[in-house]
Every structure is written in structure tokens, then in C-alpha cells.
Amino acid sequence: MLAAAQRLRRSSDFAAAIRGGRRANRGSVVVHLHSAGTPEPASSPATPSLTTTSEPARAGAGQPPAPARAGFVVSKAVGGAVVRNRVRRRLRHLVRDRLPALPPGTTLVVRALPGAADASYARLGTDLDAAITAALAPRKSSRRPR
């Protein structure tokens, strides 16, 4: 089982990973990977900064980086409740071993496709590894040379 700090629970977290992340489809899973490397605005007029001029701003000083987090989407297209829960348990176990290898602050959403119901544990692991590797790989240029 994943630790509480490693689980996605809010729909807004799922939506942010799916909308803002990179998607990779391999075999029986689709992975949405949202890296924490995207710049966030430091402060806005509605939320003033709490630092003063005599105290320098230390971003994250003394705090460990946020751990990588994961969430799972297994729809009814995969199968009945028993099948969906089995697929979710398998994926959760596979992701637990792979989360420490992801960059800190990364959000990972794994969506099971209908083929995941019949896939073996080893096949799910292979598909998951390939999808995560593809999502982490740098993007290729979409322009073709003339």
C-alpha cells in the first residue's frame, strides 16, 4: 500500500496531472506524468508575501522536497468491481516500487485500459515501465527537416 503522503486523493490533483502532464500509452496502461519543475508564481496580490526585508526568503529551507505521488483510474470498462479492484491492487503494488525513482514532487496518474483485466502481473509491470520511461523522455521536435 502507498503511504498517505504518496497518494492522490483530490479530483483537482488528478485533473492537474491529466491536463498539465505528459501522457504515454503503452499496452494496457496510460500514464499521465506531471513534473513539479513547472514554475509557480511566487506570490500574487491576493496573497502577499510573508517575508520581510530583514529576513531573506529561503525557498524550502529545512523542508524536504515533496514526495512523488500517484493515483489510479480504473473504469467500469475494465470489468466488474472484483476485476477493477484486482487491477488497482496490482498497479498500486507496481507503482510503490517505482515512485522513489521519480523526481520529487512528481504527480503520476495511471489509467488502466480494458486489456489490463486480462494482463498478467509481469505484463502490467512491463507496460508500466515502458509508459513511465516514455513520459519522462524529452520531447522530440515535431518539425520535419525540409
CB contact at 8 A, 68 and 38: no
Architecture of domain 22-35+67-136: 2-Layer Sandwich (3.30)
CB contact at 8 A, 29 and 116: yes
Q: Would you state the pLDDT for residue 2?
A: 82
The upper half-sphere exposure of residue 54, i.e. CA atoms within 13 Å in the direction of its Cβ, equals 0
Grid coordinates representing 53? Answer: 526585508
CB neighbours (10 Å) of residue 28? 22
- Average pLDDT per 10 consecutive residues for the chain, totaling 146 residues: 87 92 94 72 40 45 79 96 97 94 93 96 96 88 64
